[in-house]
Structure 1
Amino acid sequence: MIEDKAIEDKAIGAKAIEDEAAARGDDRVADAALDRYGLSAQRTRRLINLSENATYRIDDPRTGRSGILRVHRADYHDRAAIESELDWMAALGADTDISTPSVVPTRDDDRVVTVDVDGVARHATLFTVVPGAEPDDAQLGAGTFAALGAITARLHRHARAWRRPAGFSRFSWDWPNSLGASARWGRWQDGIGVGDAERALLAPAAELVRARLAEYGTSPDRFGLIHADLRAANLLVDGDRLHVIDFDDCGFSWFLYDFAAAVSFVEHDPRLPEWQAAWLRGYRTVEPLDPADEQMLATFVMMRRLMLVAWMGSHAHSRECQEIGPGYTADSCTLARRYLQSAGHSLGPDSRAPGQPHDDTLTTPPRS
């Protein structure tokens, strides 16, 4: 009966996501965009993810063609920003052996399709299908994170050396646009289950994040173009190869923010120290890291965690929000307590600054 209920809940969740995509007009954008690619009338589309964008699996049995269509959310990226994302992906394909999807051009050789739906310009892009599957929980071990660290370092090396084309335009994941006045994903204070007790823990943690980021600075060796969402859901494992997908959030931020993105939604997992050590080990096979950089990892993880609390508050339709729910905020409070006890240096259960008494109760703060 428990399994039957889980299957029923999953089906209800999938139906809600499909309804949300239809309500946003994503289905109509997809159909209008697909007309530009010379596919047959037998083509099919299947919604496989709904987040900032709607992502569809496209199959055309008559031509044998398949692809992944990304319908961009209205008013999130303009066309220039999308073209810039594709420029970096193309450069990575030309300059490195990092595997990413290729863009499928339209019949008119456009990389981005713009269609009008209800008077709103909407954008879509078709990518090739990359082989493999995202890592499951059993694969989230030291080996995967070491490989991920090495790939991340290669991305950073390329970003530092690459001469970006004129007009390159991507947003920044700096303090104002992450957790400040212009937070792109909204306010963490509006997250699911955030009340007075939660704010009492999360607010000082956010302030400590801000202070440590300001002290760390944004010099070119620390801040530049990054993927910004390099987590398991955006990796495809194909034998011993890892393919990197979904550069939609790529932009300018601290390079080590990419580690925080790698542990998105699982920052409270007890394996975090093991994952971090493996990621650093892999990274250092490609690029050096100073101890001062390593000391900032807890701050970037706390920063990302607060951003995701905000994101879940405005993305109730997302797969992650439906799977995790209010417990994510409760666990975030535990991490905030540990972060504060360590003066911003750790998120582990024994986190505390030198000479500070231990006070990690691992209890969820009461709801207001």
Structure 2
Amino acid sequence: MADFAANNRPFAELDPSGRTRRLRRLAEAALTAYDVPVARLTPLARGLNTTFRVDGADGHRYVLRVQRPDGPGVARVRSEMAWLAALRRETDLVVPQPVPTRRRDLATVVADPAVPEPRTCVLCHWVEGRFVDERLSAPQLYAVGEFTARLHLHGARMNGLDRGRVDDLTEFGRSQVDGFSPAVVDRAVARAGGDERVRAAVARARAVRAELGCGADVFGLVHGDLHQENYLFHRGRVRAIDFDDCGFGHYAYDLAVTISGLARLPQREELREALLDGYRSVRPGAAETDPAVLDTFVELRRVQQRLR
């Protein structure tokens, strides 16, 4: 009786493991769209999206991502996959390689009666490597800086893709023409319990954005979430995953995200300088490495995380 009740419980009332079990069936249906012989499907650590490791009978390994219902729509997910495909085709940067469906689509939309809404799903080849956190070293962050600069050089050429801004405030902000409008900021302050420091931080970010402008030398398509859970190392090389938050923004914001991720590490200042040195080795004199600009975007990132 308990299993019957669980199987018939509304999706919203299920705990995370119960939702993953439902989404597993949807994932199995999504995989039928691909020419991949599946041997095993294993849930991975659940974030905003739900991901599964796919071990293929062909000896290859993949990651299937089931998109969250309130995330980017299918057109924007296809744009994310198009950037990844272009990066794999046009650079030697190691990022997830999208697997097209039998119909040559970079995404598939699947419905299941046990899940309230259709879900966008994508399949990518597995990226080998190891994550490093407390033991991050200056040479590793130098390499991350180089990688980020090269990513930005490519992102500067990708202006036609359908992706939003990475620095908007809250879900409401992303739905507005101006993600920093007075109405957006008022809602953000209210959500932060009336903390006016949010308004001040946004005002500083607005001023810096205006000063930088939106030329291709300072603004373009960026990763948007490049912290140490999204970059990894393999045989001395940096690799990046999870481009789900990619979008248009200032390159300084992308660097600020990486810097913010280092905040709790005792060697954070050394790592920050190594990151920027690596970045400047590819893009010397870049305005986004200015300390005042970076600190403003680090503060903005903290506000965004607080409001999630």
Equivalent residue of 2:61, what SS? Answer: strand
Three-state SS of the structure 1 residue aligned to 2:44 is: strand
**1:122 alignment partner, one of 115, 119, 126:** 119
Are 1:81 and 1:170, in contact at CA under 8 Å, matched by a contact in 2?
A: yes
Distance change (3 Å), C-alpha of 1:155 and 1:89: same
- The structure 2 residue matched to 1:233, chosen from 229, 236, 240, is 229
Which of 40, 50, 53 matches 2:49?
Answer: 53
Query: Contact 1:112/1:123 (CA < 8 Å) preserved in 2?
Result: yes
3-state SS of the aligned residue for 2:232?
A: strand
Contact 2:252 2:288 in 1 (8 A): no
Q: Which moved further from structure 2: 268-277 or 65-74? A: 268-277
Shift of 1:174: 4.1
Contact 1:18 1:47 (8 Å CA) reproduced: no
Instruction: For structure 1, list consecutive stretches of 5 or more residues without a partner in the other structure.
Output: 1-14, 312-368
Query: 1:153 and 1:188, CA in 2 relative to 1: closer, same or farther beyond 3 A?
Result: farther
Q: Distance in 2 between matches of 1:136 and 1:152?
A: 18
CA distance in 2, matches of 1:289, 1:171: 27
CA distance in 1, matches of 2:202, 2:23: 35
Alignment of 1:179-258 (within 5 A): 180=180, 187=188, 190=191, 195=193, 199=195, 201-258=197-254
- Relative to the length of structure 2, the TM-score reads 0.80
Q: For the residues of structure 2 that align with 1:248 and 1:125, how far apart are their CA atoms?
A: 11
Q: How does 1:153-164 map to 2 (within 5 A)?
A: 153-160=149-156, 162=157
Post-superposition offset of 1:201: 4.5
> RMSD of the alignment, in Å?
2.9
Deviations 1:126-146 (A, max 9, x none): 1111111112321x2211111
Query: Closer, same or farther in 2 for the Cα pair 1:65/1:188, shift >3 Å?
Result: farther
User: Structure 1 residues 209, 109: CA separation in 2 closer, same or farther (over 3 Å shift)?
Assistant: closer
CA positional deviation for 1:71: 0.7
Give, in whole Å, the separation in 2 of the partners of 1:219 and 1:267.
30
Matches within 5 A, 1:251-330: 251-290=247-286, 293-294=289-290, 295-311=292-308
Give the letter aligned to residue 301 of structure 1: V
Q: 1:81 aligned to 64, 76, 81, which one?
A: 76
CA distance in 1, matches of 2:259, 2:43: 25
For residues 158 and 180 of structure 2, what CA distance do their matches in structure 1 show? 30
Rounded to whole Å, the distance in 2 between the matches of 1:47 and 1:263 is 30
| Count of residues in Structure 1 that have an aligned counterpart in Structure 2 | 282
Q: C-alpha deviations, 1:174-207, integer Å up to 9, x for none?
A: 4464774697xx94764xxx656xx255443344
Equivalent pair of 2:158/2:221 in contact (CA under 8 Å): no
CA contact (8 A) 1:265 1:305 kept: no
Q: For 1:89, what is the secondary structure of its paired residue?
A: helix
Deviation for aligned residue 1:222: 1.7
> One-letter code of the match for 1:248?
D
**After alignment, is 111-120 or 204-213 more displaced?**
204-213
1:111 corresponds to: 106
Q: Which amino acid counterpart does residue 300 of structure 2 have in structure 1?
A: M
How many angstroms does 1:270 deviate by? 4.2
Structure 1 length-normalised TM: 0.68
Describe the superposition over 1:150-172 as per-residue Cα deviations: whole angstroms up to 9, x where unpaired. 01111111222x3656xx21111
User: CA offset at residue 253 of structure 1?
Assistant: 0.4
Structure-to-structure mapping, 1:136-155, within 5 angstroms = 136-138=133-135, 140-155=136-151
Q: What's 1:19 paired with?
A: 18
Pair 1:212–1:101, CA change in 2 (3 A): closer
Where 1:133 maps in the other structure, the secondary structure is coil
Gaps of 5+ in 2: 1-13
CA distance in 2 between counterparts of 1:39 and 1:157 reads 33
Report how far residue 247 of structure 1 moved.
1.3
Separation of aligned partners in 2, 1:203 and 1:164: 30
Describe the superposition over 1:40-99 as per-residue Cα deviations: whole angstroms up to 9, x where unpaired: 5x7332221322311111124x44342111111114222221121111111111221101
Alpha-carbon separation, structure 1, partners of 2:77 and 2:19 = 23
Instruction: Specify whether residues 195 and 131 from structure 1 end up closer, same or farther in structure 2 by C-alpha distance, changes over 3 A only.
Output: same
Q: How many percent identity over aligned positions?
A: 33
SS of aligned partner of 1:44: strand
Contact 2:146 2:279 in 1 (8 A): yes
**Retained in 2: the 8 A contact 1:188–1:309?**
no
Distance 1:137 1:270 in 2: 9
Matching residue's letter, 1:116:
A
**Using a 3 Å threshold, how does the CA distance of structure 1 residues 164 and 277 change in structure 2: closer, same or farther?**
same
